[in-house]
Structure 1
Amino acid sequence: MSRVLSATPNRSTIPNIEFIFSVEDRVDDVNANGHPVWVYSRKATEESVWLIPDFGFWSWGHLSNDIGPYYTQAMDKVLATESELSFSEKEKKLVWRGKLSFAPKLRRALLDTARGKKWGDVKELDCSRKANFLSMEDHCRYMFIAHVEGRAYSASLKYRHGCRSVIVAHKLQYIQHHHYLLVPSGPHQNYVEVERDFSDLPEAMEHLLQNPNKAEKIANNNIKTFRERYLTPAAEACYWRELWDGWADVSRRDMGGNEVPGYKRGMRFESFLLLDSGDMLRFSFSE
């Protein structure tokens, strides 16, 4: 939001709004009580919340040595790596690195399915010892990159989209703001979807390996959709502006969609200062 505001020459074009946002991984971690909180991800049934880009588009502080403090810096490293090799020169394997402490059943299923396969380079990551560590840009040296959700969504997907590689992901339970752009089949296919237990992963991998032209087309569609267009800072800024405008429109209307006459925004700062924590909670989630 700060980046968008600083790039807007005429602040009068930005609506005056109030909102509540969460930095938690899941909606059920938030005491929202059905209120329209801004969140990083949601399930399909959690329709009352509004999706915002996750913090990694701005910075990923404590992991900056592994990924890069800025999304654009991570993409610079990816582009430098990919300038050295074509798609056909990439290693014909499926790569994944991650911790099993997040969604252990789901991630263990991937490890078990890929174990012993010629196309498998799937390993558990131990951050304390950097065991099996692989930089984000080195993922791009592989033709195929697996994606697995964690405790909720996995913020690593946007970095994986930066590689001219085929993203192989299970059916996702958590939706982020850019997931509606994922196309699992057809002429515009930009990733490969498999079952959540990865039971059909071997079949999918064999099909991709036997059809390299199709695999390359999926990888190219991935780049065109995400790295070169919808995950750029400019596209993110457009998303924020559209979100603000949409929120400004609906937040001044009642449940029937009618604009509330005489609607006043906010409260005096002096009154806010006198609120204790209990009052603030009731105020934030008042009807």
Structure 2
Amino acid sequence: MYGPLLRTVLIAIGAFILIIATFHAFSKVPTGSSDSLLSHLPSISITPSKWEYDSVRDAEDYSLTQDQCQSAFPNAYYEIDRAVAYWRQNGTIEPSQIDINWRGDGAIRAMIHDRQLYILQSKGATQFHGWRERSLAVLHQINRAILSSRDPVPNIEFSFVVNDRVDPPKNTNHTHWGFSRKLSAPNYDRLWLIPDFNYWTFAGVAGSFADYQRKVRDHDRPMVEKRPELVWRGAVDVNPGLRGRLLKATKGKSWSDVMSFNWGNKTDVRVKKLPMPSHCRYQFTAHTEVTVVHELEWIANYYHLLVAEGPDQNILGVKRDWSDLEEKLDYYLEHTEEAQRIADNGVATFRDRYLTPAAEACYWRRLFDGWAEVSFTPEAYETVTNEDGVEESKWRGMSFEEFV
């Protein structure tokens, strides 16, 4: 549910078009039970430097230093700071709290030690093709962030889950890294958000993330040169209530190129009707998964950057039931200069800055540091009994290189 969300947002932003979010305007994440703890975080002081971020030069540089990351992407780390604040209030994370045996599948426990990534346990993360693709993509992201770091990387042990939606155990204090969290559920406050697997690759759809960004930049052009239509492709059964209403609201409209399909049906020609990056041809792209009812319900690691009103507006907000969609589309189809301003803000905020490969690597390294602040230091060796009944020390886990 949320993997497709990120894919839609990346396509929309990268294609130099607007995102249609749901409900009215939210310029920041509503504060929940743990978000209020952010007021206790220390301010970050950056040593003055002549270096300034340049998207043309730096957007694909994985090796920015900590100071450069802070200078280039100062607003990227909200979710990390929130999680650190939560765990400062709730105690140090212990080994038992990152156990993944409660999971049926799609989970990995891993360790970083002396800048080397090790896999300690894989829980159904490689048998199913979808989980295998996602798990390897996340591990590759982590490994790339380690190898490209010019700053020290802490020794940490952690676990992550690759399902779009994961309900953590309610009666325990387990924590893990994942793609999304639910704002209205307190048991989600203890989770840590990571970049989606698409930041490595979405095989067969968009290719590698950096390569796809280059493609959409090459196809960039003013909105007045694009088709004055709203485009959307997706599987309705993922969220039938929300997506079904989108189909109903757009049916028969002159400005609509909205179509559903079945991902599993390889003969469904509609799956192939809109190959990447054809979204670039349209002025508007519908985005169905920012679930909002008076406040955001689900959040990914960058949602706090979505702005639906004001001079920094970078999305077009409509009601959750799409009842004002036609009104909004009619207005912006007539006022293309305003639509272009919103699109320009989206490009500057997301495609050229906060959703770049450089920002992704910076986020991972800040996550390593934040996790290390409130978590245990892992033991590299474990004591085992050999076949002769003698206890001996053994290195824990399998190296990333061997695992992949």
Q: Give your verdict on TM over 0.5.
A: yes
Match of 1:105 in 2: 241
Question: Structure 1 CA distance, aligned partners of 2:147 and 2:198?
Answer: 19
**2:157 match: secondary structure:** coil
Asked if 1 retains the 8 angstrom alpha-carbon contact of 2:314 and 2:346, the reply is yes
Matched, 1:67 2:191: no
Please, which runs of 5 or more residues in structure 1 have no aligned partner? 150-168, 253-263, 274-287
Match of 2:288 in 1: 148
Residue type of the alignment partner of 1:246: G
Match of 1:6 in 2: 147
**Paired residues for 1:43-54 under 5 Å:** 43-45=182-184, 46-54=188-196
Match of 1:27 in 2: 166
Match of 1:95 among 231, 253, 270: 231
Asked if 2 retains the 8 angstrom alpha-carbon contact of 1:95 and 1:120, the reply is yes
The 3 A distance-change label for structure 1 pair 7 and 208 is same
Please report how far the alpha carbon of residue 110 of structure 1 lies from its aligned counterpart in structure 2 after TM superposition. Answer: 0.5
Quote the RMSD (CA, aligned, Å). Answer: 2.2
Question: Structure 2 CA distance, aligned partners of 1:129 and 1:213?
Answer: 40
Asked if 2 retains the 8 angstrom alpha-carbon contact of 1:147 and 1:170, the reply is no
Match of 1:117 among 253, 256, 273: 253
Asked if 1 retains the 8 angstrom alpha-carbon contact of 2:193 and 2:301, the reply is yes
Match of 1:138 in 2: 278
Question: Structure 2 CA distance, aligned partners of 1:219 and 1:58?
Answer: 25
The 3 A distance-change label for structure 1 pair 125 and 25 is same
The 3 A distance-change label for structure 1 pair 145 and 170 is farther
Higher relative contact order (CA 8 A, sep 6+): 2
**2:267 match: secondary structure:** coil
Match of 2:214 in 1: 76
Please report how far the alpha carbon of residue 267 of structure 1 lies from its aligned counterpart in structure 2 after TM superposition. Answer: 6.5
Cα offsets for 1:199-240 (capped at 9, x unmatched) = 121121122122211100000000000110011111111111
Match of 1:203 in 2: 327
The 3 A distance-change label for structure 1 pair 119 and 227 is same
Residue type of the alignment partner of 2:239: A
**Structure that is richer in strand per residue:** 2
Tell me the number of residue pairs that the alignment of Structure 1 and Structure 2 aligns: 235
- TM-score by length of structure 1 reads 0.76
Question: Structure 2 CA distance, aligned partners of 1:137 and 1:193?
Answer: 23
Matched, 1:38 2:177: yes
Higher mean displacement: 179-188 or 195-204:
195-204
Asked if 1 retains the 8 angstrom alpha-carbon contact of 2:234 and 2:261, the reply is yes
Q: Percent identity?
A: 42
Match of 2:297 in 1: 173
**1:101 match: secondary structure:** helix
Asked if 2 retains the 8 angstrom alpha-carbon contact of 1:91 and 1:143, the reply is yes
The 3 A distance-change label for structure 1 pair 48 and 170 is closer
Residue type of the alignment partner of 1:74: Y
Question: Structure 2 CA distance, aligned partners of 1:21 and 1:87?
Answer: 40
Cα offsets for 1:234-271 (capped at 9, x unmatched) = 1111111111111111225xxxxxxxxxxx53363344
**1:76 match: secondary structure:** helix
Higher mean displacement: 123-132 or 229-238:
123-132
**2:230 match: secondary structure:** strand
Match of 1:185 in 2: 309
- TM-score by length of structure 2 reads 0.55
Residue type of the alignment partner of 2:198: G
Please, which runs of 5 or more residues in structure 2 have no aligned partner? 1-141, 387-404
Question: Structure 1 CA distance, aligned partners of 2:383 and 2:198?
Answer: 35
Question: Structure 2 CA distance, aligned partners of 1:233 and 1:247?
Answer: 21
Residue type of the alignment partner of 1:138: S
Residue type of the alignment partner of 1:37: H
**1:36 match: secondary structure:** coil
